[in-house]
A and B are shown apart, each in its own frame.
Chain A
C-alpha cells in the first residue's frame, strides 16, 4: 500500500512580505496574504491527492504575530483536514513557543501536538510511527535529539524536529545538533524545520529541511515548496510540491563596456524575459543588479529613475513580474588625464576628501542619526542592528552620495 505524507515547516503565518514592490496595488491584490495561501494550497493538495498526514516541523506562527485571527484561520484549515480524515503532526518551533496565541485556540482532534518531553504516535492503518519533540521555550540551547524515543522495529519511523542543525552548541539557541547524531538515531526520515532554504542533507536516512513554503523577502529567494513523502513497502521516496504564491528573484546583469541605452534596454529585456520563464510561482518580485565597467556608468546612474521605471514596465508587460529595487553597481573606466574627466573627477575627489573629514563626518552623522531615529522601531532596529552595521550603512551612503552627485554633475557638464 502506498501512503503519502506532506512535510512542511516555517510557515510564519501572517508574517508580511518585506518588499517595496508590495506598494503596487495589483500585486497586493494578487498576493494578499501569501503565507495563508501557501497553507491553504498545502491543505487543498492533501485533500485532493489523498495524503494521509501533514507533518509540520515548527514555526507555524511568526514570533511577532499576536492576532487570534491568525490562529482562527489555522484552526479552520486544520478542520478541513479533519473532515477529510487527514492527520496532522506538529512540533513547536522557537517562534511558536514564544507566541502567546499558539496555546489559546483549540485545534481539532486530528492534530497531534508533540510536547517538550517528546513522544511517538502511530499513523492509523499503517506501520508508520511519527516521533516529535517541541520547543518548550523560544530558546533551546541544547540538542533535542536525546529526547527522542527509540524507533519502532519493523516500521517506518519519521522524526519531527525544529533545529538549526550544526550551529555552535551552547551558543546557538535553536536546538543545534550534528548531522552525525541524526544519521545514528535510527529514524528513516528526519522531518526538519527552522532554516528557510530547502536542503536534502541525506537520502539514507532521509534528512530533509523543506524550507519555508513562502519566501518573505529577497533573502528567501526562489520558488518555495513542501516535501512529499511516498511510503511504499517500507521504502520512502521524496519529491517537491510547489507552494509559493510569489517568489523573490535576483536578476544580475553585467553591462557591456560599450553598451549604450539601446544595448542596455535589449539586455534588460532579455533578462526580464528569462526571469519570467524561470519563475515557477504565479508571480515573482525581482531585485535587479547592474554590474560591470562602462563608459556610460554615470549616465545610467544619473538616469536611474528612468531605468527603474523602464525595467518596471518590462516586468509589467510579462503580467507576472514586479520590481522592488534596482541597484546600479556600475564602475566607470579609469579616466586618464582627461580634461573633462579632470574637472568632475577633481570635484569627485574633493567630495571624497571632504567626506572623510572628521568634522564633516561628525556633522553628517548627527543628521544620519536624527533621520533614522524617525523610523518605526523595527525598521530602526533593522538599519542599526549594532554599531558595525550602522557604521557600514553610513559609509555606504557616503560612497553612494559621491557617486550619485558625480553622475548628476556629469549629466550637466556633458
Chain B
C-alpha cells in the first residue's frame, strides 16, 4: 500500500517551498478535500505529485517560473507503513534522492506502483474533466467485450481480440485444411514438382549398370567382326599389289627405251627455261627503247633554239602585284562617290525643313541646331513627369466623388433601422426558467411515459387469447417459476407415460416373437417335443408291462411297434440334441418376455396415474386464472411471464409519472408565462418555447443589423476625409511638373519661340536621327577621295619603265601592264621545262647500252655446262639445248620411280626378285582371285558398320550420364523446401497452440473478474445516481457487447445517451470499481479527483462524496475543488472524518 503523507512543492509551477501535509492516517476514512480559488494551483499540486512518482517530462509546462533545471518536488510517502522522505530532480540519472541528496533506486517507487505507468495512473487514479471522459469513452464506445473492458480498466488489458485475430490469421495464412492457396500447400506443391523433375532427369545406379553392360557387349561384337574384315582386307591388298605391279613393269620398259638417244645430255639440268625466255624478251625491249630515245633528243634541241627571254617585264611583276589592294579601293571610289554626295545634300535639306516645322527661323547650321542625347533625355523626363501628375490628379478627383456617394448610402441605411422599445424581454424570461433544459426534459419524460404506456399495452395485447382480451393486468394465481416447474413435471410425466407405453408394446412384441420362434423350432424338430417323447416312452413301457403279463404274439406285436416308435423318437431326439437345447433357451426367453410384459404393464399404469394427477392440478390453476383448459402448460408459463412483465411495466409507469410531477408543474408555469409575454393563447410548452425562441432570435438579429449600419456610416465618413486630402496633394504635384518642363525647354532649345505649345519631342527625335545619317555620309565621301589619290601616286613609276603606257588613266594603265607581265612569265616557264626533259633522256640512253652488254656476258656463262657438240651461241640456241636436257633428266627419274614402286608394291628386296614374283603369279590369275575376295570383303564391311553403330549408340547413352550438377541442385532446393515446411509447421503449431491457450485463458480470466467488476460498478453507480440507475447490463451489439445502464423505471440507456453529469457518474463508478479490484489485488494507491463533480446536482454530489469516503476507507482519496458547496456537503456528510486543506491563490502566495 502507498499513501501520500506530505507533498513538498519546493520549486514547481508558481509554488516555492510549499508543503501540503495530509497527516497520518487515522482510524476513519483517509479522505481529503483541497479547496482553493481558481489559479490557486490545485491542478499543479496533482501534477507535482505525478512528477514525484514518475519524473519530469522534457517539455515541462510547469517550468514557467523556476526554469526546468531548477524544478524540485518532494514529500513523504508511506509505503507499506514505512515512511520515506524523498525528492525528485529533473536529472537524467539519480533523479530520485533522499533529503541528503543521496540517490534512491527508482524501483522503490516502481515496486510500490506495481508497474503502473503514468498514462494509466492518470486514466485510472488521477481524474479530471479530460481523463474521466477519455477513459470512460474508451470503455463505452468500444466495440469489444464489456466484461473484458471493465476488468481492463483495472488490469490494463485492452483489445486482446486483436491479438487473437492476428494469431488466427497468421495460422490460416500458413495452413488451411484442404486449401490450395496456403503457404504450406504451395510448399507441398513445389516439393512434389521438384521430386518429379529429379525423377525425370536422374539416372539411378541400376539404370547405369544396364547402360554399361550394353556398351561392353556391343564393343565385344564389334572387335570380332573387325578381326574378320581385317584378314580379308589383307588378302585383297596383296592381290591388288600384284595386278598393279604387272602394269608398272610394262611402263618401266617403255621409259628405258625413250632415254637411250639423250644419254649425252647432262645428268643435272639447273637452268630455268622461263628465265631464258625472260632474258630474250628483255633484250628485244632494250634495243627498241634505245632507238626511240635517240630520235626524241634531236627534236628537243630544235625547239629550245626558238624560245626568247623578257627580263624588264619580269622585274616589275612583284611591284605590280603589291598595288592590287589600292587598285580595288580606287575602283570602288570611282563607282560610289557621286551617289554619296547626292545623299548628303538630301539629308541637309530634310533637316532644314524639320527645323522650320518647329517654328525656328534663320538657323544657318542645321547640324549645330540639334540638341545632344543628354539634353534630349532631360526634356523627355520633364514631359513624362507632367503627364503622370495630370493622370494622378484625375484619379483622386474620381475617388473623392465615389467616397462621398458611399457615405450618403450608409447614412440613409442607418436612418431606416429603428428598434421597438415596447417588445417584452423574452430572453430574460427563457433564461430565468432555464427553458431549453426544461423543454428537453419535458420531451424526454413525455417520450418515456409514452413508451411505458406502449409497453403496458403491448403486454396486455400479448396476454390475449383467442376469444379473450385483457384490459387490466390479471391477478397472479401462481408464480411463473412455479408454473414452469409444474409444466416441466407434466412434460416429464408425459414422457414417462409414453416411455412406459412404448416399453409395454415392445415387451408384447418380444413375447410374440419368442412364442413364434418356439413354435417354429418345435415344428422343425419333427414334432418330437419332450412331452410327445415322454408319451411314447410311457406307451412303450405300458405295452411292455401288458406284454410281459400276457406274452402273446398280439401283445408282442403291439409292444414291438411301440418300442420301434420310441426308438425312432429317441434316435431323432438324440440327433436333434442341439436343436432341443436351443428350444429350451427359447422356452426360457418366452417366460422372461411374459414377466417383462407384466412389469411394463404395471409401470405404464403408474405413469398414467401420475400424469392424470398433475393434469388435474394444472387445470385447477387455469380455472383460477380464468383461462380455458385448452391452454398448454408451456403456454400457461409464457402467459404468466407476460403477466409479470405487464405488472413490471405498470409499476414503472406509475413510478415515472410520480417522479415527473414536479417537472410538469414547472413546465406549466413556463408555458403560462410565455403565453402572457407573447400575448397569445397557451399552445403548450414546446410550441410557446419555439415561438419565444424565434422572437428572441429576431430581436437579436435586428440589434446586430443596427450596430452594423452605424459601423458602416462611420467608416464611409472617414473615407471621404482621406480622399479630400489626396486631391490636394495631387494638384500641388501638377503645378511643380509644369514649372520644371518650362525650365528644361528654355535650357535645351533657346531658339524655340513658344514653350507652352505642342510637344516638340517627336520632331526633335526625327531631326536627331537624320543628323546622325548626314554625318556618316560626309565621312564616307572624304575617305573615297583619299583612296583615288594614293593609287595614282604609286602606279606612276611603273608606267614610266614600260613603253606604250604613257598618257593612260591609272586604272587602264594598270590593266595593260598586268597583261604584258603575265605573257613574259609564261614563256620563261616553258623553256625551263624543256631543258630538264632533254637532260633526263640523255641519261636513259646511256643506261640501255650498259644493260645490253651485261646480258651478253651472262649468256656465255650459262652455256659452259653443255658439251661442245651442242650449239649455244645465241639465247635461242641455249633455250633449245636446255629443253632437251630437261627431257633426259625426267626420263631417268621416271625409270627410277617405277623401279622403286615395283619393289615396294610387291614387298620384295630387289628388281630381280620382283620380276620373279610376277612370273609366279600371272596377271590373269591375280585378277580372278581378287574378284572372289572383294565379294567377301563387302559383306564383312557391312557387318562391321552395323556393329560400330551399335557400339556408338551404347557409348553415347553411357556418356550421357555426365557429372552435371542438375540433380544435386534440385535436391538442394527440395531439401530447403522441406526445411521450410518443417519450420513453418512448427511455427504454425506454436501459433495455433498459443491461440487456443490464449482464447481459453482470456475466457477464464474474464469469467473470474467480470462479475466482481460489474457488481462493484453497479453498486457505485446506483449510489451516485441516488437510485436513478439500479442495474448495469451488457447486451450484444453485433459481434460485440455494449454497456447499458437500466434506470429505476426500467429503461435502458447507453453512456452516450446520458447527460454529462450522469455519464461522469458512470465513469466515476467504473473507476471506483477498478480501485476496488486493484486494492483486492493488493495494490492500494492515492486516488485524486480534480473537480469532476462540477456537473453533479447536490444529491449526487453528496453521493459522490460518500464514494470518495468509501475509497478513503480502503486507501487514500483526495478531492481538489474550488466549489465551497462541495466542501460544505462533504463536511456535512463526513463531519470530523473529513480533512479540508485550504490552498491560497498564487497572488496571495506571492505576497507571503
Residues in chain A within 8 A of chain B (CB atoms): 14, 16-20, 22-23, 28, 32-33, 36, 65-76, 99-101, 104-105, 325, 335-344, 346-348, 350-351, 354-355, 360, 364, 367-368, 371-372, 374-376, 378-379, 382-383, 393, 397-398, 400-402, 404-405, 408-409, 411-414
Contact = CB atoms under 8 A, between A and B. Distances in A.
A75 B208 CA distance: 14
Q: List 6 A-B pairs, minimum CB-CB distance, nearest first.
A: A338-B115, A73-B963, A343-B155, A405-B994, A339-B114, A401-B993
B993 A101 contact: no
Given A16-B972, A67-B968, 7 more contacts: A28-B969, A69-B203, A344-B157, A347-B1002, A360-B996, A378-B978, A413-B157
Contacts of B971: 14, 16, 65
Interface string B106-126: 000001011111001000000
B635 to A, nearest CB: 42
Contacts of B83: none
Given A101-B205, A342-B155, A404-B991, A67 B967 contact: yes
Contacts of B166: 408
A87 B965 CA distance: 25
Nearest to A349: B1001
B878 to A, nearest CB: 65
13 contacts: A28-B976, A33-B965, A67-B967, A68-B204, A69-B202, A69-B967, A69-B968, A336-B111, A340-B117, A350-B1004, A351-B1001, A401-B989, A412-B159
A372 B175 CA distance: 12
B115 A69 contact: no
Contacts of B205: 66, 68, 99-101, 104
A367 B992 CA distance: 9
B1082 A337 contact: yes
Interface bin, chain B? 35 or more
Interface in B977-1027: 978-983, 985-986, 988-998, 1000-1002, 1004-1005
A409 B1081 CA distance: 20
A100 B990 contact: no
Contacts of A73: 963-965
B167 interface: yes
A100 B967 CA distance: 17
B1002 A398 contact: no
A248 B727 CA distance: 96
A28 B156 contact: no
Interface string B201-241: 01111111100100000000000000000000000000000
B966 interface: yes
A327 to B, nearest CB: 12
B967 A336 contact: no
Contacts of A346: 155, 1005
A374 B158 CA distance: 37
A351 B117 CA distance: 25
A404 B997 CA distance: 11
Nearest to A355: B997
A104 B966 CA distance: 20
B204 A375 contact: no
B969 A343 contact: no
Please indicate which of the listed interface residues A351, A355, A378, A404 has the most CB atoms of chain B within 10 Å of its own CB: A351
A33 B972 contact: yes
Contacts of B159: 412
Contacts of B115: 335-336, 338-341
B54 to A, nearest CB: 14
A408 B990 CA distance: 13
A371 to B, nearest CB: 5
Nearest to A23: B976
Contacts of A75: 963
Contact of A409 (B163, B973, B1083): B163
Chain B residues touching A, majority SS? helix
B156 to A, nearest CB: 5
A397 B989 contact: yes
Contacts of B710: none
A379 B114 contact: no
Contacts of B997: 351, 354-355, 360, 401-402, 405
A339 B981 contact: no
Contact of B964 (A69, A71, A408): A69
A70 B968 contact: yes
A409 B152 CA distance: 12
Contacts of A355: 993, 997
Interface in B367-387: none
A364 B996 contact: yes
B619 interface: no
B1001 A347 contact: yes
Contact of B981 (A99, A105, A340, A379): A379
B985 A374 contact: yes
Provide the main secondary structure of the chain A interface: helix
B972 A340 contact: no
Contacts, number: 234
B156 A339 contact: yes
Given A104-B212, A412-B159, A337 B996 contact: no
Given A69-B203, A343-B157, A376-B978, A105 B1001 contact: no
B965 A408 contact: no
B1001 A67 contact: no
A367 B114 contact: no
Nearest to B192: A376
A182 B292 CA distance: 112
Interface in B146-199: 151-152, 155-160, 162-163, 166-167, 175, 184, 188, 191
B909 interface: no
Contacts of A379: 978-979, 981-982
Interface in B79-117: 111, 113-117
B82 to A, nearest CB: 16
Contact of B204 (A14, A67, A335, A402): A67
B1001 A69 contact: no
A231 B191 CA distance: 50
Contact of B1083 (A22, A66, A337, A413): A337
Contacts of B998: 347, 351, 405, 409
Contacts of B969: 28, 32-33
Nearest to A73: B963
B962 interface: yes
A374 B981 CA distance: 9
Contacts of B690: none
B963 A72 contact: yes
B116 A69 contact: no
B968 A33 contact: yes
B961 interface: yes
Interface string B1063-1081: 0000000000000001001
A104 B208 contact: yes
In this complex, the member of A336, A348, A401 whose beta carbon has the largest number of chain B beta carbons within 10 angstroms is A401
Contacts of B1060: none
A412 B158 contact: yes
A376 B191 contact: yes
Nearest to B966: A69
A375 B1005 contact: no
B209 A397 contact: no
Contacts of A413: 152, 156-158, 160
Nearest to B974: A16
B746 interface: no
Contact of A340 (B114, B203, B1004): B114
B989 A371 contact: yes
B990 A404 contact: yes
B786 to A, nearest CB: 86
B984 to A, nearest CB: 10
Q: Which of A69, A335, A355, A374 has the most CB of B within 10 A?
A: A69
Contacts of A342: 114, 155, 1081
Contact of A19 (B208, B967, B979, B989): B979
A371 B993 CA distance: 12
Contacts of A71: 208
Given A67-B967, A409-B160, A412-B163, A338 B978 contact: no
